[in-house]
């Protein structure tokens, strides 16, 4: 059995299809989107009206017709000319917490035993700080 979408996803897809199909849009009529995606016109119409969920494979086919990934069709107000992107964890800037104590490069050069001892020490200090804080706050 192919899974179907949840209520919020159905509502978002319905809204997006209403915004993306119509006069002056990439697909002016449901027939054009159906022909391009290979998904039946009545299936797309029911999804656009929020009447039922799409099967995941139909969502993939419709998204592909807009040059989008399936998940992008479930983002409110999706714009195929400026599709949403996933944020990468690699984009987060991590601040080295031991500035003035040891550089990150020097830390990386330490033995694994020394790094483990430092990690255990820091964990112990954090646990103790949390206990002290809770006692003062309570």
| Phi, psi of 115, deg, nearest 5 | -60, -40
pLDDT digits (tens, 9 = 90+) for 33-70: 999 999 999 999 999 999 988 898 999 999 999 999 99
Calculate mean pLDDT across residues 84-108.
74
pLDDT digits (tens, 9 = 90+) for 72-87: 999 999 999 898 888 7
The reply to whether 66 and 114 lie within a common domain is: no
Domain boundary among 74, 109, 124: 74
The count of domains in the chain is: 2
Domain assignment present for 20: yes
Domain assignment present for 122: yes
Domain assignment present for 88: no
**Angstrom distances, CA of residue 10 to CA of 51, 75, 113:** 8, 11, 53
State the residue range of the domain holding 111. 95-137
Domain boundary among 42, 74, 106: 74
C-alpha 44/C-alpha 29 separation (Å) is 11
């Amino acid at each position: 059995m192919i899974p179907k979408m949840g209520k919020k996803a159905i509502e978002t897809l319905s809204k997006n299809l209403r915004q993306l199909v119509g006069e002056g849009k990439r697909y002016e009529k449901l027939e054009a989107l159906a022909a391009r995606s290979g998904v039946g016109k009545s299936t797309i119409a029911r999804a656009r009206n929020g009447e039922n969920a799409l099967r995941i494979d139909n969502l993939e086919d419709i998204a592909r017709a807009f040059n989008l990934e399936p998940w992008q069709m479930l983002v409110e107000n999706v714009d195929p000319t400026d599709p949403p992107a996933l944020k990468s964890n690699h984009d987060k800037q991590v601040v080295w917490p031991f500035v003035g104590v040891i550089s990150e490069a020097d830390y990386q050069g330490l033995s694994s035993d020394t790094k483990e001892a430092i990690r255990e020490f820091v964990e112990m200090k954090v646990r103790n700080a949390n206990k002290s804080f809770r006692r003062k706050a309570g």
